[in-house]
Chain A
Amino acid sequence: AQKITQTQPGMFVQEKEAVTLDCTYDTSDQSYGLFWYKQPSSGEMIFLIYQGSYDEQNATEGRYSLNFQKARKSANLVISASQLGDSAMYFCAMRGETGGGADGLTFGKGTHLIIQP
C-alpha cells in the first residue's frame, strides 16, 4: 500500500516570496513516480511536475522544482517568486510499480496555498 502525507493544511505567503509545500510518502515499491498537481477553485487538476524514484537530479519546470530526498521519503514542491495566480490547492501524488504502474494515483489531502499581495 502507498501513502502520501501533506502536513500543511493551509499556508499564507507574501507575493514574490518562495514557498515550500511539504510531502512525505510511504511505499514498499522500489520504483515509483511522484507528481504534484494544482487545483484552482474551478476544480480542474493541473499537472505541475514529475520526479522518478531513480532520477538522480531534482525535477524542475519553470518556477516549480521538486526537492526529492529519497532516504527521507520526501518530495517537497518549491515555487519560486510566488504570484497571486498561484493561490490554489496543491496535491502530492504517487504511483508505484505494483500493478505495472497502470493503476491510479495515490493522493495526499492537499495544502491550500494563499498568496497575499
Chain B
Amino acid sequence: DGGITQSPKYLFRKEGQNVTLSCEQNLNHDAMYWYRQDPGQGLRLIYYSQIVNDFQKGDIAEGYSVSREKKESFPLTVTSAQKNPTAFYLCASSMGQGISYEQYFGPGTRLTVT
C-alpha cells in the first residue's frame, strides 16, 4: 500500500541534543512538507520541498534543518537551537504544485525533550 511513514511514533531526547525525524513516502509525490502541532493548536509549516535537492523555509523554520537527497525521503532535524522542541511533528506529501492538490499526511512523531 502506498503511503507516508514516520518513525518513531514517540521520541524522547535530552535538552541540547539534536534529533532527526524520519519521513518516507512511496506515493511518487514531488512535494513534501513538515508541520509542527502544539496542544490545542493547528499545524504550522516548518519546511517544504518541491523537488529533490531543493527546499524552502516555512513559517517557523528557526532551529530546524532538512535535506532532500531522494524523492522518497525528507528527514527533519530538530537542533539544540530550537527553544521549545516538544511537539507533535507531521510530515506530508502532495502530488502536484497547485492550489487544488490535497496533502497526504503521515502518522506523526511525538517528540518530548526534557
Contact = CB atoms under 8 A, between A and B. Distances in A.
Contacts of A8: none
A91 B98 contact: no
B58 A104 contact: yes
Contacts of A110: 40-42
A71 interface: no
B74 interface: no
Contacts of B41: 109-110
B64 interface: no
Contact of A43 (B48, B101, B107): B107
Interface residues of B, number: 29
Interface in B7-48: 31, 33, 35, 40-45, 48
B31 A102 contact: yes
B35 A43 contact: no
A49 to B, nearest CB: 9
Interface residues of A, number: 31
A98 B35 CA distance: 19
Interface stretch (A11-19, A31-39, A62-70, A79-87): A31-39
Contacts of B98: 100-102
Nearest to B51: A102
A1 to B, nearest CB: 10
Interface of A: 4, 9, 31-33, 35, 37, 42-47, 50, 52, 91, 93, 95-97, 100-110
Given A45-B92, A101-B101, A109-B41, 12 more contacts: A9-B40, A42-B107, A43-B90, A43-B107, A44-B106, A47-B102, A47-B103, A52-B99, A52-B100, A103-B45, A103-B56, A109-B42
